[in-house]
Amino acid sequence: MAEIRVPELAESITEGTISTWFKQVGDTVEKGENIVELETDKVNVEVISEEAGVITEIKAQEGDTVEVGSVIAIVGEGGATQSPSQTETQNQTESIPVPENKAGDATPAPAQSSETGESNEKGSRIIATPSARKYAREHGIDLATINPLDPKGLIRSHDVKNAINAPTQPVAPAQTPAPAKPENPSKPVIREKMSRRRKTIANKLLEVSQNTAMLTTFNEIDMTNVMDLRKRKKDAFQENHDGTRLGFMSFFTKAVVAALKKYPAVNAEIDGDDLILKQFYDIGVAVSTDEGLVVPVVRDCDKKNFAEIEGSIYDLAVKARDKKLGLDDMMGGSFTITNGGVFGSLMSTPIINGTQAAILGMHSIVTRPVAIDKERMENRPMMYVALSYDHRIIDGKEAVGFLKTVKELIESPEDLLLES
């Protein structure tokens, strides 16, 4: 028999959420085979079985929060599986559904007089996950007073947390109002539970907004020269670098590195009463996924050439799309670039990423009439750029100077060769 435990995730991550079970009770597994996917605050992690055998017990359901080191499944030897009655007997003390079924479709075990209490005042069975029962016991919460979000009545750990955080004590079940529904049936809504990733993104962005003196400055860049250079060199570049395409991100990354060297406060962060000036240039590149925005990091951009930067960005974007990003891919960036222009954004005020001091926002390239001198107007491909920065660290003069440096380097891309 082997226990499947939640593995060590990262120094700052102590728990995860069961996202998807790839195996169910009675299924055969091979050594090294993925059996469950965990969703953490940053990435999804697939957990493997260290032994070959048969899943005999699942201790946590999809949606449950589990701590690092906790047992979430048991793998037994051989091909025989436990009968439903055996499985039910093992789980009666926790009153969870039979593991072969999904949480919402399972039939609860027979009522009995256990110390945890198995029925409410109406005599109906209380169905709860083990983690929810444990959490309720630790905080002195009566499960009978909880209205679960699950439409079929399964109480999960987040229901207990909601009860703990409620502004007033829950009333008795008979007096508890039904969940709020739209007053007008002709105005339908869909209520969905936020994913762990989405909640983390929301909390982090709110934390940054509340804990920084964030300000945004703008400029515009004439993209004519860099677009002409890219048009002339892209085919040869792709041929000489094993199919790697020459995009705009490598130009902006190189320009940002040069500007960070000129204005080191933009590459800093606050740690208590100390100001940490970073001497490395690990640039985060915001990538949009179905589950939300992630920011993988391109390491040592000051030491990489254009092809290496483009290749790194492409590899990280593919990993993000395929949900294969690791924690190491996301940690330790010193500055971030986000490109809302790929979605058509003309202008925005991006929010600083984590403890960093600033973030550069790129936007759509739009042909606009531009005054060349007092006598001439020309249509030019123009891009608005924005720098959001922490005013506690960076003065306005430095922020404007940083953005002006990026503008000048992009408008004279050959200078990037001297600055790189």
Rounded CA separation 350/358 (Å): 9
Q: Please write down the HEC assignment for all residues of 295-337.
A: CCEECCCCCCCHHHHHHHHHHHHHHHHCCCCCHHHCCCCCEEE
Rounded CA separation 69/278 (Å): 35
Q: Is 398 left (phi over 0), alpha (psi -120 to 50) or beta?
A: alpha
The one-character DSSP state at 144 is G
Q: Would you say 92 and 117 are in contact if contact means Cβ atoms under 8 Å apart?
A: no
The amino acid occupying position 407 is: K
Catalytic residue among 105, 228, 328, 395: 395
The amino acid occupying position 7 is: P
Spatial strand order in the sheet of 65-67? 44-48, 34-39, 15-21, 65-67
Q: Would you say 396 and 388 are in contact if contact means Cβ atoms under 8 Å apart?
A: no
Nearest to 382 by CA among 331, 346, 333, 335: 346
Q: Would you say 383 and 223 are in contact if contact means Cβ atoms under 8 Å apart?
A: yes
Angle, helix 396-411 to helix 224-240, in steps of 10 degrees: 60
Strand intervals (E) in 42-125: 44-48, 53-58, 65-67, 71-76
Instruction: List Cβ neighbours of 24 (8 Å cut-off, separation of 6 or more).
Output: 55, 58, 99, 100
- Count of C-beta atoms within a 10 Å radius of residue 68: 16
282 is catalytic: no
User: CB-hemisphere CA count at 13 Å for 144?
Assistant: 14
The amino acid occupying position 404 is: K
Rounded CA separation 41/29 (Å): 28
64 is catalytic: no
Catalytic residue among 139, 228, 315, 391: 391
CA R_g for the chain = 27
35: tokens are 């059996």
Rounded CA separation 171/339 (Å): 49
Which residues are catalytically annotated?
391, 395
